[in-house]
């Protein structure tokens, strides 16, 4: 059985933003994982990030889609 490796394609600051991006990826035919939350340590202490992950072979195309998603939400 083949299990694809997953990679973070983007990190969102809120769960709502992550959910919107995951929905956009799914509607475009990508296969993102369910919302993954993880506390990340930085120089400023613990911060909450929402990692958006897709199979590694979808990363480049998914990043391109999310760039266009960002552009369309800025124009609104």
pLDDT digits over 14-37, tens only? 889 999 999 999 999 999 998 765
Most confident region among 20-24, 41-45, 69-73 by mean pLDDT: 20-24
What range defines the domain where residue 23 resides? 6-75
Report the half-sphere exposure of 69 (CA within 13 A, side-chain side).
Answer: 19
In a domain? residue 12: yes
Residue 58's pLDDT is 96
Q: Which residues, other chains included, contact 43 with Cβ-Cβ below 8 Å and sequence gap of 6+?
A: none
Residue 61 falls inside a structural domain: yes
54 lies in a domain? yes
Distance CA 65, CA 42 (A): 28
The domain total for the chain is: 1
CATH number of the domain to which 35 belongs: 3.30.70
- Does residue 58 lie in a domain region? yes
In a domain, 1, yes or no: no
Domain assignment of residue 11, yes or no: yes
Full-model pTM: 0.76
Nearest one of 14, 34, 12 to 23, comparing CA atoms: 34
């Amino acid at each position: 059985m083949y299990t694809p490796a997953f990679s973070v394609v983007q990190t969102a600051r809120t769960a709502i933003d992550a959910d919107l991006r995951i929905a956009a990826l799914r509607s475009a035919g990508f296969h993102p994982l369910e919302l993954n939350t993880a506390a990340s340590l930085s120089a400023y202490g613990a911060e909450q990030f929402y990692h958006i992950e897709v199979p590694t072979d979808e990363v480049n195309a998914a990043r391109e889609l999310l760039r266009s998603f960002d552009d369309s939400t800025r124009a609104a």
